């Protein structure tokens, strides 16, 4: 599968004993399906679709070599012969589609969220409540044996190789860094001692599995934590791993406890590829670039300029299983692009829920949400071309229904057109691009600039009407809400009404935080932020001259003084995404935003906003007050309760429920309704 547009990405890679069909790796992702034997059929279906979609090499989610290594209680393991039967379902599915697959061996060390955790030393991690036991020397030897046995069983289960997880702050990283390895014995101290565990593991695995088996090692290039390794140490480890028998060096950036974002949407695309390039120039085996690479052009470019031999993308394969075939056939504009939101993948994983994808609710539900031809073709009207309506219309049309999609605006996207105005959320535009193309491909009849009424819908002869009209902004009844200094978030983000230097934001949900980031953006900085500007803001040394790759962040010069307020007394932003909320909080805090909880809004007048906090009345003098106080559903098209006859009416997305609305639910509801018509 070669293609003139992406010749580097789609070129085969000869590893000597085996050849990979292209340079695309689907990186390891914990789906939640690998933890239960009865889910292996679903897991096999998930990987089969990706293999059929042309991925060169798939890496499974992390499988623990023993019970101490579990990330969560009763996580997936590969430590006795009975385990291989489930895994064979996965390997056979991938091989039948011409793909290759590695099993990732992941020992979580002190990141495990279970009582058996072990580490190099008994130092608790900030992200698990369980304090680890320091491994004894015999415990270390047993761990090495467990890795080797795990790899041997993986080979018996039909895997083409294994990936040893050595980055993101898991056990092997914990041994590698002085931050967590406080040992005084021959497994601690110098880098030569600290790297003994991963190196011994690789040697033992190689001895056990022979030479015709891929061993990929995920090596941490920038730890992004205090006490992380220096570049010299990173290279010392890489050379030792190469010598010990590693076939491919995959790369990882940042520990899970790092306070620098590494994969959320605001991280510029391919931000860390240059660091992989520095490693590639030092070793002879293939090197893989990873992190925030989500489209074929960037991936191809990374290989073309010599920063890597292969590119690993993980979440992009949740978003679109057909990524590679679309790229190879010149249809990159049809790719459903991962927007880096983490809402249905990592946020689910860290809440112990099955992973999926905001833009593709079929991910990890391939056998349950099936877009198959409908038995009866129905005439369907979808009103509202936001995420919910776009999803419903395109899936219904894909299933063979006759679909007309209406929107009163002159373009599709709904609130996603507003969301993409937020600095760091530019990627949301890709979802609009994807659905626009999908409308064309599935033959949905698009009627823009048309605010439809119920009478028009009743006269249209439709079998089904899907009301996906979204929301109307809530303006709370605060005295002075009509004052000229009061703006809604729509006024600010969509209508671009000029905003003064001192601003109060009422409502600290997702939109309040987003408006904060929008108002703090320095217009002198282009968007999306160039990689060096972003690295400076977060204190990342991409030249890796410091321990862990950390430097002092650039001091921000806030362009406005913001006051972010909520009525609840809880921490502001507590309801934001588990894996992304802290990034928004850190950005606002760094820019000096005053966060106010437990606020009662008394009135807004020429002086500013009058509030009561903790029983004390205060005036906050501001130029503007921006209302981000949630929304109410827009349901005017729904027939009155109890009416009979005419088409079946359905409500989805914001129109169905405005509270806690997000695009994940909107898109999922649209797809589920469409297949059920």
Q: Of the listed 6, 47, 111, 170, which one is catalytic?
A: 170
Integer angstrom CA distances of residue 524 from 163, 268, 494, 536 = 44, 17, 20, 15
Shortest separation between residue 665's beta carbon and ligand NAP, angstroms: 9
Shortest separation between residue 438's beta carbon and ligand FAD, angstroms: 15
- How do beta strands 464-467 and 379-383 pair? parallel
Does 511 participate in binding ligand NAP (rule CB under 6 A)? yes
Does 357 participate in binding ligand FAD (rule CB under 6 A)? no
Shortest separation between residue 660's beta carbon and ligand NAP, angstroms: 5
Q: In sequence order, which residues have a C-beta less than 8 Å from that of residue 661 and are 6 or more positions away? A: 471, 631, 653, 654
Shortest separation between residue 153's beta carbon and ligand NAP, angstroms: 40
Window of 145-153, 386-394, 397-405, 457-465 that interacts with ligand FAD by CB under 6 A: 386-394
- Cα 556 to Cα 135: distance, rounded to the nearest angstrom: 43
Residues in contact with ligand FAD, total (CB under 6 A)?
Answer: 39
- Cα 246 to Cα 649: distance, rounded to the nearest angstrom: 59
Burial of 439 (0-12, 13-18, 19+ CB in 10 A): buried
Window of 91-99, 405-413, 534-542, 606-614 that interacts with ligand FAD by CB under 6 A: 405-413
Q: In sequence order, which residues have a C-beta less than 8 Å from that of residue 543 and are 6 or more positions away? A: none
Does 663 participate in binding ligand FAD (rule CB under 6 A)? yes
Which of ligand FAD, ligand SF4, ligand NAP, none does 451 bind, CB closer than 5 to 8 A by kind?
Answer: ligand FAD
> Two tokens at 212?
């015709």
Residue 84 or residue 597: which is nearer to ligand NAP going by CB? 597
Q: In sequence order, which residues have a C-beta less than 8 Å from that of residue 666 and are 6 or more positions away? A: 386, 387, 388, 391, 468, 652, 653, 654
Residue 217 appears among annotated catalytic residues? no
Residue 145 or residue 474: which is nearer to ligand NAP going by CB? 474
Strand order in the sheet with 608-613: 599-605, 608-613, 616-620
The residue nearest ligand NAP at its CB is: 509
Does 509 participate in binding ligand NAP (rule CB under 6 A)? yes
Does 661 participate in binding ligand NAP (rule CB under 6 A)? yes
Window of 12-20, 368-376, 387-395, 429-437 that interacts with ligand FAD by CB under 6 A: 387-395
> Two tokens at 263?
């994969």
Residue 252 or residue 316: which is nearer to ligand SF4 going by CB? 316
DSSP-assigned letters across all residues of 562-586: EEEE-SSSSPTTTTS-TTTHHHHHH
Shortest separation between residue 290's beta carbon and ligand FAD, angstroms: 23
Cα 402 from chain centroid? 34
Shortest separation between residue 427's beta carbon and ligand NAP, angstroms: 12
Which of ligand FAD, ligand NAP, ligand SF4, none does 345 bind, CB closer than 5 to 8 A by kind?
Answer: ligand SF4
Which of ligand NAP, ligand FAD, ligand SF4, none does 628 bind, CB closer than 5 to 8 A by kind?
Answer: ligand NAP
Among 257, 514, 537, 541, binds ligand NAP (CB under 6 A): 514
- Cα 135 to Cα 132: distance, rounded to the nearest angstrom: 9
Shortest separation between residue 363's beta carbon and ligand SF4, angstroms: 7
CA atoms within 13 A on the CB side of 467: 22
Angle between helices 387-398 and 428-442 (to 10 degrees): 30
**CB contact at 8 A, 330 and 5:** yes
Window of 349-357, 384-392, 427-435, 507-515 that interacts with ligand NAP by CB under 6 A: 507-515
Does 553 participate in binding ligand NAP (rule CB under 6 A)? no
Q: Which residues bind ligand SF4 (CB under 6 A)?
A: 315, 318-319, 338-345, 357-359
- Evaluated on CA atoms 277, 279, 282, 288, the torsion sign reads negative
By CB under 6 A, the residues from 466 to 495 that bind ligand FAD are 468-471, 493
Which H helix or E strand runs over 670? helix 663-676
Burial of 520 (0-12, 13-18, 19+ CB in 10 A): buried
Angle between helices 231-244 and 273-280 (to 10 degrees): 60
Q: Say if residue 8 is preceded by a cis peptide, omega within 30 of 0.
A: no
Does 508 participate in binding ligand NAP (rule CB under 6 A)? yes
Cα 467 from chain centroid? 29
Place of tokens 């160039």: 530
Angle between helices 137-156 and 196-209 (to 10 degrees): 40
Window of 59-67, 218-226, 320-328, 657-665 that interacts with ligand FAD by CB under 6 A: 657-665
Residue 131 or residue 568: which is nearer to ligand NAP going by CB? 568
Shortest separation between residue 671's beta carbon and ligand NAP, angstroms: 18
Residue 359 or residue 508: which is nearer to ligand SF4 going by CB? 359
Residue 312 or residue 356: which is nearer to ligand FAD going by CB? 356
Does 416 participate in binding ligand FAD (rule CB under 6 A)? yes
Among 176, 246, 303, 383, binds ligand FAD (CB under 6 A): 383
Does 310 participate in binding ligand FAD (rule CB under 6 A)? no
Among 239, 501, 568, 571, binds ligand NAP (CB under 6 A): 568
> Two tokens at 280?
């590639």
**CB contact at 8 A, 220 and 195:** no
Among 76, 361, 387, 573, binds ligand FAD (CB under 6 A): 387
- Cα 209 to Cα 198: distance, rounded to the nearest angstrom: 16
Which of ligand FAD, ligand SF4, ligand NAP, none does 319 bind, CB closer than 5 to 8 A by kind?
Answer: ligand SF4
- Three state DSSP letters for 388-426: HHHHHHHHHHHCCCEEEEEECCCCCCCCHHHHCCCCCCC
Burial of 123 (0-12, 13-18, 19+ CB in 10 A): middle
Window of 107-115, 241-249, 300-308, 569-577 that interacts with ligand NAP by CB under 6 A: 569-577
By CB under 6 A, the residues from 39 to 98 that bind ligand FAD are none
- Cα 590 to Cα 522: distance, rounded to the nearest angstrom: 14
Which of ligand NAP, ligand SF4, ligand FAD, none does 509 bind, CB closer than 5 to 8 A by kind?
Answer: ligand NAP
Positions touching ligand FAD (CB under 6 A) are 341, 343, 383-389, 406-409, 414-416, 418-419, 422, 451-452, 468-471, 493, 510-511, 514, 634, 637, 653-655, 661-664, 666
Which residues are known to be catalytic?
A: 170
Positions touching ligand NAP (CB under 6 A) are 343, 476, 506-512, 514, 566-568, 575-577, 628-631, 660-662
């Amino acid at each position: 599968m070669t293609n003139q547009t992406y010749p580097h990405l789609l070129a085969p890679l000869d590893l000597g004993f085996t050849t990979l069909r292209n340079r695309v790796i689907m990186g390891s992702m914990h789906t939640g399906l690998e933890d239960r034997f009865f889910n292996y059929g679903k897991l096999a279906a998930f990987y089969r679709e990706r293999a059929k979609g042309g991925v060169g090499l798939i890496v499974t989610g992390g499988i623990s070599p023993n019970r101490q290594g579990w990330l969560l209680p009763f996580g997936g393991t590969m430590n006795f012969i009975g385990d291989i039967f489930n895994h064979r379902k996965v390997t056979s599915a991938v091989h039948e589609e011409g793909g290759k697959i590695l099993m990732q061996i992941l020992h979580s060390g002190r990141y495990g969220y279970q009582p058996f955790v072990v580490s190099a030393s008994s130092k608790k991690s900030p992200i698990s409540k369980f304090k680890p036991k320091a491994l004894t020397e015999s415990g270390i030897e047993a761990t090495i044996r467990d890795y080797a046995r795990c790899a041997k069983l993986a080979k018996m289960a039909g895997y083409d190789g294994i990936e040893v997880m050595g980055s993101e702050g898991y056990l092997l990283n914990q041994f590698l860094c002085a931050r967590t390895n406080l040992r005084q014995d021959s497994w601690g101290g110098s880098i030569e001692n600290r790297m003994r565990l991963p190196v011994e593991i690789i040697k033992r695995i190689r001895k056990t599995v022979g030479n015709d088996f891929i061993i990929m090692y995920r090596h941490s290039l920038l730890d992004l934590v205090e006490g992380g390794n220096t570049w010299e140490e990173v290279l010392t480890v890489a050379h030792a791993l190469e010598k010990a028998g590693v076939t491919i060096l995959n790369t990882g950036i940042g520990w899970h406890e790092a306070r620098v974002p590494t994969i959320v949407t605001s991280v510029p695309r391919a931000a860390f590829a240059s660091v992989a390039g520095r490693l590639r120039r030092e070793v002879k085996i293939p090197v893989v670039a990873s992190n925030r690479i989500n489209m074929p052009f960037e991936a191809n470019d990374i290989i073309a300029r010599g920063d890597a031999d292969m590119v690993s993308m993980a979440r992009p394969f949740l978003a679109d299983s057909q990524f590679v075939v679309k790229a190879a056939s010149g249809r990159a504009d049809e790719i459903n692009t991962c927007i880096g939101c983490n809402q249905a993948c990592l946020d689910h994983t860290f809440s112990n829920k099955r992973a999926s994808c905001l833009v593709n609710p079929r991910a990890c539900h391939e056998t349950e949400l099936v877009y198959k031809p409908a038995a009866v073709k129905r005439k369907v009207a979808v009103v509202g071309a936001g995420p919910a309506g776009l999803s419903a219309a395109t899936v219904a049309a894909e299933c063979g229904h006759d679909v007309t999609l209406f929107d009163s605006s002159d373009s599709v996207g709904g609130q996603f057109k507003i969301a993409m105005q937020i600095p760091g959320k530019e990627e949301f535009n890709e979802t609009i691009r994807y659905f626009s193309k999908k409308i064309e491909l599935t033959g949905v009849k698009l009627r823009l600039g048309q605010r439809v009424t119920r009478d028009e819908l009743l006269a249209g002869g439709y079998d089904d009407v899907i009301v996906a009209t979204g929301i109307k902004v809530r303006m709370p009844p605060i005295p002075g809400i009509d004052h000229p200094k009061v703006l809604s978030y729509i006024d600010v983000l969509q209508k671009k009404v000029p905003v003064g230097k001192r601003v109060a934001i009422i409502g600290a949900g997702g939109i309040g935080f987003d408006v904060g980031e929008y108002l703090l953006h320095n217009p002198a900085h282009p968007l999306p932020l160039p990689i060096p500007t972003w690295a400076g803001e977060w204190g990342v040394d991409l030249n890796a001259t410091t321990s862990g790759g950390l430097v002092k962040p650039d001091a921000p010069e806030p362009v406005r003084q913001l006051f972010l307020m909520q009525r609840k007394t809880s921490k502001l932003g507590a309801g934001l995404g588990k894996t992304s909320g802290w990034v928004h909080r850190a950005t606002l805090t760094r820019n000096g935003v005053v966060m106010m909880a437990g606020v009662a809004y008394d009135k807004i007048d020429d002086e500013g906003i009058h509030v009561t906090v903790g029983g004390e009345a205060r005036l906050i003098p501001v130029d503007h007050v921006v209302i981000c106080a949630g929304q109410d559903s827009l349901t005017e098209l729904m027939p009155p309760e109890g009416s009979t006859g005419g088409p079946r009416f359905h409500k989805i997305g914001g129109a169905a429920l405005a509270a806690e609305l997000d695009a994940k639910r909107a898109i999922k509801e649209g797809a589920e309704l469409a297949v059920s018509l």
